[in-house]
Amino acid sequence: MTSPLRIALIVASTRNGRFGPTVARWFETVAATRTDIELTVLDLADADLPAHWTRDLAPAPGHSSSSSPQPTPTCCAPPSTTTPSPPH
């Protein structure tokens, strides 16, 4: 007999009024009828995550932070002050 397929279903939205838990419950109900699936549901709303991040990605006040500083990714860097040159 082969081992069951292990699936981690991640409900990633943490905002009010989210629809993810409804879909997760439906999928969990369907998966429970199968013997070849082992499902784990991870809901990020249950995790102690900060609601907001600062510009340097430090956790919001009241949340723990790592001991090493984290670099600012380019997606969150301040906008460039130079004007791009037009294509030739």
Pairwise CA distance, residues 25 & 40, whole Å? 12
Per-residue tens of pLDDT for the chain, all 88 residues: 689 999 999 999 888 899 999 999 999 999 999 999 999 999 999 988 777 766 666 666 666 555 545 555 555 555 555 666 666 6
Residue 11, number of CB atoms within 10 A of its CB: 19
**H-helix or E-strand containing 25?**
helix 20-32
Q: How many helices (H) and strands (E) does the chain have?
A: 1, 2
* Whether pTM exceeds 0.75: no
